[in-house]
Amino acid sequence: MSPQVVNMSTPKTRNKDFIEALSVLQWVLTFLFLGVTCIILMVGLMFTPLWLLPTLYFIWLVIDWQTPEKGGRRNPSVRRWKVWEHYRNYFPIKLVKTAELNPNKNYILGCHPHGIMSIGAFGCFNIECCGFSEAFPGMYVSLAILAGLFKIPLFRDYIMAAGLCPVSKASLGHLLSKSGTGNAVVIVIGGAAESLASHPGVQTVLVKQRKGFVRLALEYGADLVPVYSFGETELFQQVTFAEGSLGRRFQDLFKKIMGFAPCLFIGERWALLPSRTPITTVVGSPIPVPQRITPTEEEVDYYHKLYMDALSSLFHEHKVSCGLSESHKLCLI
């Protein structure tokens, strides 16, 4: 089928421009600081006359500990907040559909590249303003993120309400096996390691040694779908440390301990705001995957190669229409 573009940009007044900037800024601040703020708040309250509130919450937290692994606690109204429309229009973010997704099947969507904050993935798959539900009727989409974030008090409740889920085998397995069909699980394959390779003008995807998502697809018989967010790496300027340098060793150590890499970046405005570069997220055609309870390494390698070939084809087919030159290359590492 011919590509279907969802969402169009509109002319902006100065007030609209400011509101959009604030909408993106709140999301950036949430991404960077809300988790830490929640920890400090709850621990601090333990040493005040309000100590009973965090105590009761922590008791509830123990009872509710496994909820993120069992589909979470989505609140559709959070995904439809007006602020997300301004967030989308700031860049703007567009969703491009190239093929149908059958609601009688389950899918694993591999999204690339990670960029600094996966702004395209969040905009297209975690909020209801980029047209995913209209483009793919009958599909229930879930964006999987770092599992450790669901251990942070209060913050976990907010991200669960937004529909996010942990990128853990238990969580993904639940969505692919105990929630019927019509599930589209989105995984940003490159993860934190790939964020360190995010630079304007460079299209680097960390995927050659990432095979866990293929094994998961085989175990549950979920078709694989490559997704590419053009413009994702153009949003921030990042300070790069050479391999082996003290700065890079610190980043690698931090990532090993905490699960994510501390990137040093700067935005276009107010230091934290990304540039107003259009983000076009293209959803490719499904790759049929059979169910294998215990897939062999040969099967994993075979479907992994099919996936990488499909991702490369998707990139080269759409790069020019999404703002890149014909000579632009995709580097798979």
What is residue 10's predicted lDDT score, i.e. its pLDDT?
54
Mean pLDDT confidence for 78-91: 95
Interval 170-215: pLDDT, tens: 999 999 998 789 999 999 999 878 887 788 888 999 999 999 999 9
What is residue 243's predicted lDDT score, i.e. its pLDDT?
73
Q: How far apart are CA 182 and CA 288, in angstroms?
A: 15
Tokens 């040694």 locate to 209
Strands of the chain (E only): list them.
4-6, 93-97, 107-112, 140-145, 165-166, 183-188, 204-205, 223-230, 237-238, 265-266, 279-283, 331-332
Assess whether pLDDT exceeds 90 at residue 263. Answer: no
Q: How far apart are CA 41 and CA 57, in angstroms?
A: 12
What is residue 136's predicted lDDT score, i.e. its pLDDT?
97
What is residue 258's predicted lDDT score, i.e. its pLDDT?
66
Least confident of 70-74, 137-141, 267-271, 302-306: 267-271
Length of the chain: 333
| Percent of the chain clearing pLDDT 70 (strictly above) | 94
Q: How far apart are CA 74 and CA 142, in angstroms?
A: 10
> What is the pTM (predicted TM-score) of this model?
0.91
Assess whether pLDDT exceeds 70 at residue 292. Answer: yes
* Nearby residues of 240 by Cβ (< 8 Å), 6 or more positions away: 196, 199
Interval 233-262: pLDDT, tens: 999 988 777 677 777 777 777 777 666 667
- Domains contained in the chain, CATH given: 14-332 (3.40.1130)
Mean pLDDT confidence for 71-95: 95
* Residue 91 one-letter amino acid: F
Interval 8-48: pLDDT, tens: 445 678 899 999 999 999 999 999 899 999 999 999 999 99
